[in-house]
Structure 1
Amino acid sequence: MAPDRRNLILDSAITVIARTGVRGLRVEVVAAEAGVAVSLIYYYFGSRKGLVRATLDHANERAADAAPSGVRATLLAELDEAARETSAVWGEIQASAVFDPDLREQVREATDAWVALVAGAIAAEAPAVDAQAAAERLTALVDGLSNRWLAGSLDRERARALLDAAIDQELA
């Protein structure tokens, strides 16, 4: 039962961060969203900072579990409506890491894992390509396009078209 409650809290934290940002995250709001006592959040995560860190891990796990196979499908999935919440969480926590040195290592590790996943797919599909470099460029592009899409400065279909063209260029 405990893992279900923990995941419920983390799913609720994703929803709250996607709605209000990391700076707007309040433990009391997450507790209300999850329908649990505030004390249960502190029991599982120790602090607000612990909750934020665990939420990043949970968002990454959710994204990895939902990721389709193949370079193109994996990258384009990041610009799907279904990924909106996890993309918002990733962008928010990444931005917070600029000002919070405690988050930087975790963000770096998550970024490295994301790049490695994409590099592995590139190596399998296009062995003549420098998979690591291509993965770094493409994941950085996805991050930027996702931020613009979420901020409303770029239409989702335009973002997907730009990414699709970049994938073609990288894999050529």
Structure 2
Amino acid sequence: MATERRTVIADAAITTLATAGGRGLTHRAVDREARLPLGSTSYYFRTRADLLRAAVDRLAELDEAALAPATGGTLAADLARVAEQLLSADRERLLARYELALESVRRPELREVLAAGTHRVRGAIEQRLTEQGVVAARDVAKAALALVDGLLFAELTAAEGQQRGRAELEATLARLVGAE
């Protein structure tokens, strides 16, 4: 039950970050978003730093799960699928991640937590590349993640009608991670 409650709170923190920004992330706001009694969030996450860490950990967990290989799919196809999902149905996750990234510029302790989450996701990409026999899988994974981050930011901030389609995203990613 406690683990489930922590997940509910972390998910509510992600939604709060996406809708109210970093300054709007308070224990009370998360309690409201999660529809929990006031004080619930602070019971499980005493400080704002603890709450931010929970949001980062949950984002990394969700990203790792999203990167699980689709049946018969290539890594480029899976990355394009995840990117498309983040730009549509899971847009809140993307917005929350950027809020956290910007806040981490001024909070080194948050930067460390974000780096650990990024390391987990990069490791999942690296593992897939290694399984495909890609040379220098670690370097390619690092570049692929940077490319995906850049594409996501460009797509998120693009004017309406200028976004890349899934096929274009996949073709761009396939060039980086190798023809599959």
User: Do the two structures share a fold, i.e. TM-score over 0.5?
Assistant: yes
Deviation, 1:138, is 1.1
Partner of 1:111: 118
Contact 2:31 2:38 in 1 (8 A): yes
For residues 154 and 50 of structure 1, what CA distance do their matches in structure 2 show? Answer: 36
Partner of 1:150: 156
- Structure 1, unmatched stretches of 5+, are none
Aligned runs of 1:43-122 on 2, under 5 Å?
A: 43-69=43-69, 70-76=74-80, 77-80=82-85, 81-122=88-129
The higher-RCO structure (CA 8 Å, 6+ apart) is 2
- Structure 2, unmatched stretches of 5+, are none
For residues 59 and 101 of structure 1, what CA distance do their matches in structure 2 show? Answer: 18
**TM-score, scaled relative to structure 1:** 0.86
Deviation, 1:2, is 2.2
For residues 100 and 160 of structure 1, what CA distance do their matches in structure 2 show? Answer: 35
Partner of 1:16: 16
For residues 143 and 7 of structure 2, what CA distance do their matches in structure 1 show? Answer: 32
Contact 1:14 1:89 in 2 (8 A): yes
Partner of 1:3: 3
1:107-143 per-position Cα deviation (integer Å, ceiling 9, x unaligned): 1111122111111111222x24321111111101111
1:50-96 per-position Cα deviation (integer Å, ceiling 9, x unaligned): 11111110121122223331412431213312332222222221221
Contact 1:75 1:139 in 2 (8 A): no
* Structure ranking higher in helix proportion: 1
Instruction: Give identity over the alignment, percent.
Output: 32
Inter-CA distance 27–159: structure 2 relative to 1 (3 Å threshold): farther
RMSD: 2.2
- The secondary structure found in structure 1 opposite 2:90 is helix
Letter paired with 2:153: N
